[in-house]
Amino acid sequence: MKKSTKGALAAAAAGTLLLGGAGSLAYWSTSATVTGTDVATGHLALLTPNCGAWQLDSGENAPLTYADGDPLVPGDALTRVCTYVIDASGNHLRATVSAAAPTLPAPLADAFTVSAVDLQVNNVAATEFTELNDGQTLQVTVKATFNSSVTDHMDLNAVLGDVTVNVNQVHN
């Protein structure tokens, strides 16, 4: 008998033994119940907004109160400081703050960069806050910068729309 035939017969016999024996193996199993619990969710909000006037920061002089319609030049920044009360509830809640770009008609829509800067929680510099800051103040400076790379946006008029301050819960 050839070696390959012997090998095939041995493999078939082993397979038959394994399959035939599979029905006779006994596996034990059991289950247990994990007791449920009450759950509740927390929340996150900014309350009682209080914003100062828009300030013009030319980078060359001390910032001054901006008068609606005063002409801006590339590099100028408009800033507005707003204070909120933090309403945060939840175990290990952590939140970051950002600002959404306001609506501006073309061609000025691409001329401004908007950001939330100089965050302070209870007058201390911060980059985020937690549920431990519930009831404390969050101060945010919203900054709208007329991009210095803009070269062709002269003698235009538009309304800088509302800027939205976003608070986003983050989790590792």
- Asked if the structure places residue 11 within a domain, the reply is no
65 falls within a domain: yes
Residue 58 makes CB contacts below 8 A (sequence gap 6+) with 73, 75, 76
Q: What is the predicted pLDDT for the residue at 12?
A: 61
Q: In terms of residue numbers, what domain contains 124?
A: 43-170
Judge whether 157 lies within some domain. yes
The least confident of 36-45, 83-92, 106-115, 161-170 is 106-115
Task: Evaluate whether residue 6 is within a structural domain.
Answer: no
E strand or H helix that includes residue 6: helix 3-22
Tokens of residue 72, six digits: 């801006």
3-state secondary structure of 138: strand
Instruction: Kindly give, in sequence order, each residue whose CB lies less than 8 Å from that of residue 59, ignoring residues fewer than 6 positions away.
Output: 75, 76, 77
Q: Are 95 and 42 in contact (CB under 8 A)?
A: no
Inside any domain, residue 24:
no
Count of CB atoms within 10 A of residue 141's CB?
17
Structurally, the chain folds into a number of domains equal to 1
pTM to 2 decimal places: 0.74
- Residue 136 is given by DSSP the state S
Give per-residue pLDDT as tens, 30-70: 999 999 999 999 999 999 999 999 999 888 888 899 999 89
The per-residue b/e assignment along 50-68, b for 16 or more CB within 10 angstroms, e otherwise, is: eeeebbbbeeeeeeeebee
Ramachandran class of 36: left when φ > 0, alpha when ψ lies in -120 to 50, beta otherwise? beta
